[in-house]
Structure 1
Amino acid sequence: METLTPVVETDVLIVGAGPAGATAAALLSTYGIANVVLNKYAGVSNTPRAHITNQRGVEVLRDLGLEGEVTRNATPQHLMGEHVYATSLAGQELGRLRTWYTHPHFKAEHDLASPTSVCDLPQHVLEPILVNAAASRGSSVRFNTELLTFTQDDDGVTALVKDRLTGQEYGIRSKYLIGADGGNSTVAAQAGLPLVGKMGLGGSINVVFEADLTRFVEHRPGDMYWFVQPGVGHDGNGIGVLRMVRPWTKWVGVWGYDVNAGRPSLTEEDGVRIAHQLIGDDQVPVKVESISTWAVNDVYATDNMAGRVICVGDAVHRHSPMNGLGSNTSIQDSYNLCWKLAMVLRGEAAPALLDSYRDERLPVAKQIVQRAKRSDGLMPPIFMALRLPPASGAPELRDALDALLRPTAEGAERRQDFDAALRATIMCFNTHGVETNQHYTSGAIVPDGTPEQPAPRDEEIYHFASTRPGRHLPHVWLTKDQQRVSTFDLCGRGRFTLLTGVDGAAWREAAERVAERLGVPVRVRSIGRGCEFEDSYGDYRALSEVAEDGALLVRPDHMVAWRSATAADDPEAALSAALGQILGLTTKE
């Protein structure tokens, strides 16, 4: 890149205004860090795209003060869970699942894990919420502005960008650059981040359309309906999808295409045809809003940082929509990163703190990509159970469904196989542990020397509450002034929090002195009988794994950074050593 004098200077340049980039901007502005956001498009996403927002995703939005706006605009959990398998929406039902933790058993587990609930918040609704929050809090958001290239040195990054309306090129100088520019990331490519896996493994068509389908679905409300139909898909057999955007009048119809034949050229008539095929009734009025194509990917980065350039979101993990992990993981990438950037930029932490982003989030990226791939693998057994050969047509499907219903020994065997295959697909939706059980090991976590206890149940399926350093602070309900308060709301908002109990006065005094010495704010919350926050249900006592004179140090992203099971001989020294290690600081005299 030619030497140029930047005309814009900022602390952080964020490339991309999708879920990852917009979250990063909102967080940094909330933390008081100057940032510029580039979006090469004229506006935010104009299609629904990602839509599942899980508990950890909503928790970040809650910490940003945006949960109320999210709740007003999202479809709630109780309207998401009737997952229907059929030949079409109007056609023969083949079975149902209760998804997204709406089964009473999973609902209880879901409600115990967080003060928030999973919801359906389409990307074109989520992005304006985040971008508006970022802009109103100080971010400079530049639409129609494209990153061309960048160089970095010991002090920062110089980017060359282009105004796509005027054609003007100019420079932006920042201390750090966040690449949040999606699955074809310019930043990741120019930074040379290594990627593992394959792109373009399968092609899909999205048809966004309006149609009143209330009579087909209000008695079985769900966010997705899956249809076994002849067509492009698993071994040449198709799974068509109707995805709810707005109950029950706006939808996305999803159908496959052969990537080896090239991207199809589709007309509005094609969109209507696909919608009617999925609905199973060509008399339903359909108004097509847009048609687009997308590819199934299976890629994750083995490094997400290169000097002062750090990538988040789909730039470093790309996978199928199975399990709804994409935008949620992207949001959490930024949540992990931005408090660290803020503290480094304010001089409260050493730059080495940023290395923990690599150590903590790379395993998560690998896990979710592999989970989505395994979930994709749950589709072929459905066709195998129906005894359908590859590339079957309508006659073969009709014969297979007829055989499924026959009161014969062979029919019973087919029903048993089909029902087992259908039930197994619950793992395309209910992976609560994958969503909530992140366990970090890095320099920003101080182990307490206790052996890691194996989870009592499958950690991909079930939430596992623990205060072991590196785990997410468990949610329990406390009371203050007779009002319920979640442990989640005692922490976060860009600051460290020390939680202690009835006999924790020494920790409070220690925290005040350590905060002053290190120049790092530490709030203290006391929990227990007669404390600031009452443990009215006894749940905190049961889950905290520390005594009334012990303490938990919780990071701004709600991860437990350090704990002391009981009182320390020298609380100030213990807390100072822990916080200094996390932040890479030495005590200021």
Structure 2
Amino acid sequence: MVANASDLPVEQTQVLVIGASMVGMTLTALLAKHGVRDCIAVEKHSSTAIHPRAALFHPRTMQIYRELGLYDSMAQESTKHYDEYAGIFDVESLAGKFRRQWLANMNAGIESLSPVMRLYLTQQIFEPILLEKARTGGIDIRHSTELVSFCPDDAGVTALVRNRDTGQKSVIRAQYMIACDGSRSPIREALGIKMKGYGLMSHSLTIYFKADLGKYVIGKYNGVIYVNNPTLRGFFRLDKAGREGFLVVNMVGEKQHPADNITDERAAEFLKAAIGADASFEITLVAKWQARCEVAEKYLDESGRVILVGDSAHVVTPHGGFGGNTGIHDTHNLAWKLALVLSGKAGPALVTETYEKERLPVARKTVDQVFERYIKRVAPELREPYEKEGFVIEDEAEDAHLELGYRYWSRALDTDQKQSSETLENPKTATAKPGSMARHVFVQLMDSDDEEIPIADLLGESFVLILGSQASGWIQAAQFLQTEKQFPEVKIHQLKAGSEVEFCSRYGISSTGAVLIRPDGFVAWSESGPAVFGFGGMGIPDSAETLRCVLKKLLCLGDHIPSFIPQTAQGERLINRSEGLASITLSRALFTREQLLLEEKSRALKQIEEIERQLADVKRLSVLQDEMAMLSMKLLPVWSDATTNPPKHLFRIVA
């Protein structure tokens, strides 16, 4: 609850972000990009990161930073310090025996799946770049400021914050408050939201240091270097010169808690054992942390005004670099939704009913997969105890499937929510259908002399309607978008004839079809064939009305999307869309209508049969009840004259 603050200044803002490290600042930068500049972010630390945390950025994350215009500067900084083709190795020690190679080249084959690659870049290098981007966008970021208390209600959140340097307090009133306050989130704990998963696995530690280890890594190991020996188990992350980095220690011998009773001397012993040879080094920090793989049971409070993002919503170990990356993907999912709700272009349910619905299953899958990697790479002896407790340890999925193949199911997509068990798909082979991440292909636009561009160049700002070269009917159907101001901007791009083969194949449409992609780069709706007009009286929805209903559903302003071309009960198309508009004759339309009515009649007859069955069941139960009542009447002395024989029969009156 907020303290008595009647004498304190009160500020109004649309969004209050608690926690302005990498995830929190990414959210503010994305909000600014989508037009929400009335945003305050508070961070308890006095500056951006001062230690090299969270070094690996996944390709999906780099796509997001590419949208923000940061990819080139990040890649330039990365190549100064790290090898873009690094691998993952397992050794007894840096100077000792090579054990195995988990991954030879982290970017092998990635160019066919993404316009950008994985790269290494520490938070101490990256966060100042991100801070400048957020502030340039108009975001008010306040360091040395902490949340004291908060009170949510149906209209927003009132928060009391305090400057840690001056002690000055102020009240901030926001429409939404976003908790980016870390794995031990005070906001999550105050709300009573529980974490579920694998619990505490280790009291781990990270040793940050400077040294001269180039002879052990240059031309040999450059990436993530796992260390497994009798003294410790964990991994190194070093720059390509071997002069700076950190050592994560998860296990000491057979013990799970290396951080217990840690001293500088003990940390030095761990570092020496991991190097495996005499070497001079300077330890700059020893950080203790808990190795956990857990996810919050829900992402929003009861009011729907307080939202968990990043580590406050899910916690994983650093094995695979999924922690920060998953948090950044949270922000990408949430930012455009908040922007549209705050602008009045979408219903509040776009935030309250789709953010958690889409992101929570992905987090659960990620937690399961990171736990599997932790068990396999540093703690195989934990497998049996967990399995005895009933945990099912998954097989390892390919990194690309986790990074570029996760999919969503929610009201904000044209998906069947009954089919919501599938979380991952193969981004190399799976067709991009509603709920899928947009597949990386090169396209050439109609009426443009430009060379082919990656489809990513069209995404990230707004909804995008991409049309085949013969899809002029969909352009006509979408004309209402120019006049109906209730909808947000939808950019329309038509592909040039002869350049669309790969796009149509990867997205499952013909040259007459259309694909609608959300601002976060997920396919929202698609139709493989042409727009149809003039058959509304025969039960075939008009294409413009179909698009209108699609947008209303995606924006949580309505739920019904009419079927564009009717289907049989077996799901077969009654009109072959690839034949084009010319083939849809009146006789075909009448035949279609006849088939629809026959199917409707069949369904009605089946419904009547079911009603008759239920009615018969009810009648049987009614008869049974009457017979039990009659039996009771036989057994009870209900006649006043004891000498009179009771009747031998009771008659049931049937209405």
TM-score range, shorter chain: 0.7 to 0.9
Judge conservation of contact 1:205–1:293 (CA < 8 Å) in 2: yes
The residue number in structure 2 matching 1:279 is 275
Identity %: 29
Corresponding residue to 1:87 among 78, 92, 104: 92
The residue number in structure 2 matching 1:10 is 13
The residue number in structure 2 matching 1:436 is 404
1:215–1:481 CA distance, 2 compared to 1 (3 A): farther
Q: What is the alpha-carbon distance in structure 1 between the residues aligned to residue 521 and residue 419 of structure 2?
A: 22
1:176–1:559 CA distance, 2 compared to 1 (3 A): same
Counterpart check, 1:323 vs 2:317: no
Q: What is the alpha-carbon distance in structure 1 between the residues aligned to residue 418 and residue 236 of structure 2?
A: 48
Q: Secondary structure at the match of 2:433?
A: coil
1:200–1:382 CA distance, 2 compared to 1 (3 A): closer
Give 1:404-415 correspondences, 5 Å limit.
Answer: none
Judge conservation of contact 2:113–2:440 (CA < 8 Å) in 1: yes
CA deviation after TM superposition for structure 1 residue 425, in Å: 13
Corresponding residue to 2:487 among 515, 519, 522: 519
Q: What is the alpha-carbon distance in structure 1 between the residues aligned to residue 82 and residue 207 of structure 2?
A: 24
Q: What is the alpha-carbon distance in structure 2 between the residues aligned to residue 274 and residue 20 of structure 1?
A: 31
CA deviation after TM superposition for structure 1 residue 180, in Å: 0.7
Q: What is the alpha-carbon distance in structure 2 between the residues aligned to residue 347 and residue 567 of structure 1?
A: 32
Judge conservation of contact 1:82–1:99 (CA < 8 Å) in 2: yes
1:551–1:451 CA distance, 2 compared to 1 (3 A): farther
Counterpart check, 1:55 vs 2:69: no
Instruction: Compare the two structures and name the one with the higher strand fraction.
Output: 1
The residue number in structure 1 matching 2:299 is 304
Greater gyration radius: 2
CA deviation after TM superposition for structure 1 residue 273, in Å: 3.6
The residue number in structure 1 matching 2:170 is 170
Structure 2 letter corresponding to 1:156: G
Q: What is the alpha-carbon distance in structure 1 between the residues aligned to residue 548 and residue 332 of structure 2?
A: 24
CA deviation after TM superposition for structure 1 residue 474, in Å: 0.7
Q: Secondary structure at the match of 2:230?
A: strand
Judge conservation of contact 1:60–1:335 (CA < 8 Å) in 2: yes
CA deviation after TM superposition for structure 1 residue 450, in Å: 13
Judge conservation of contact 1:77–1:118 (CA < 8 Å) in 2: no
1:97–1:441 CA distance, 2 compared to 1 (3 A): closer
CA deviation after TM superposition for structure 1 residue 70, in Å: 1.4
Structure 2 letter corresponding to 1:212: D
Q: Secondary structure at the match of 2:466?
A: strand
Q: What is the alpha-carbon distance in structure 2 between the residues aligned to residue 544 and residue 461 of structure 1?
A: 14
Q: Which has the higher contact order (CA 8 A, sep 6+)?
A: 1
1:193–1:145 CA distance, 2 compared to 1 (3 A): same
TM-score for both structures, normalised by structure 2: 0.75
1:379–1:529 CA distance, 2 compared to 1 (3 A): same
Q: What is the alpha-carbon distance in structure 1 between the residues aligned to residue 135 and residue 372 of structure 2?
A: 39
The residue number in structure 1 matching 2:475 is 508
Corresponding residue to 2:50 among 46, 52, 65: 46
Q: What is the alpha-carbon distance in structure 2 between the residues aligned to residue 50 and residue 294 of structure 1?
A: 14
The residue number in structure 2 matching 1:389 is none
Structure 1 letter corresponding to 2:334: L
Q: Secondary structure at the match of 1:290?
A: strand
Give 1:243-282 correspondences, 5 Å limit.
Answer: 243-245=237-239, 247-256=241-250, 263-267=260-264, 269-282=265-278
CA deviation after TM superposition for structure 1 residue 553, in Å: 0.6
Structure 2 letter corresponding to 1:47: H
The residue number in structure 2 matching 1:371 is 369
Q: What is the alpha-carbon distance in structure 2 between the residues aligned to residue 2 and residue 320 of structure 1?
A: 36
1:38–1:512 CA distance, 2 compared to 1 (3 A): farther
CA deviation after TM superposition for structure 1 residue 515, in Å: 4.9
Q: What is the alpha-carbon distance in structure 1 between the residues aligned to residue 460 and residue 531 of structure 2?
A: 25
Q: Secondary structure at the match of 1:203?
A: strand
The residue number in structure 1 matching 2:619 is none
1:2–1:207 CA distance, 2 compared to 1 (3 A): closer
Q: Secondary structure at the match of 1:219?
A: coil
Structure 2 letter corresponding to 1:519: F
The residue number in structure 2 matching 1:581 is 553
The residue number in structure 1 matching 2:638 is none
The residue number in structure 1 matching 2:581 is none
Q: How many residues align?
A: 527
Q: Secondary structure at the match of 1:226?
A: strand
Give 1:391-430 correspondences, 5 Å limit.
Answer: 427=396, 430=398
Judge conservation of contact 1:465–1:474 (CA < 8 Å) in 2: no
Corresponding residue to 1:552 among 515, 529, 533: 515
TM-score for both structures, normalised by structure 1: 0.83
Judge conservation of contact 1:448–1:564 (CA < 8 Å) in 2: no
CA deviation after TM superposition for structure 1 residue 29, in Å: 1.2
Counterpart check, 1:96 vs 2:94: no
The residue number in structure 1 matching 2:354 is 356
Counterpart check, 1:37 vs 2:41: yes
Q: What is the alpha-carbon distance in structure 1 between the residues aligned to residue 246 and residue 82 of structure 2?
A: 19
CA deviation after TM superposition for structure 1 residue 464, in Å: 4.5
Structure 1 gaps, min length 5: 232-237, 385-423
Counterpart check, 1:468 vs 2:464: no
